[in-house]
Amino acid sequence: MTPSDESWGPYPLILAGAVVAVAVTLLVDPRWGGFTLGGAVMVAAALRFAGYGGQLAVRSKKTDVVTLGVFGFVLVLTSLLLGNNELKALILSLFAR
């Protein structure tokens, strides 16, 4: 298979989202950068779930969707927790006995 025959699918879109997220992290605020990166990863999960594979298709569809979805959610949640002490205390109280 030649490189021109490869299906890139939505990979360039997700890569552009990651580049924007890194730029936002460096230029604006790490919280917004993490939120943007998590959003881009969750978009990748949604596109993989919808059947758009291309270079995003590394493992089975189910594994890709679960991995990307959980990773994106954790990134978004972590970015929300960085500057919000009230939300951090609420989440920690859920795990306290």
Domain ranges of the chain: 7-95
Residue 38: alpha-carbon gap to chain centroid: 3
Q: Which residues contact 64 (CB under 8 A, 6 or more apart)?
A: 45, 48, 56, 57, 58
What digits encode the pLDDT tens for the residues 47-58? 888 888 777 677
pLDDT at 16: 93
What digits encode the pLDDT tens for the residues 43-90? 989 988 888 877 767 788 899 899 999 999 999 988 888 878 888 888
Evaluate if pTM is beyond 0.85: no
Positive or negative: CA dihedral 95, 64, 26, 13 = negative
Q: In the Cβ-directed half-sphere of 65, how many Cα atoms lie within 13 Å?
A: 11
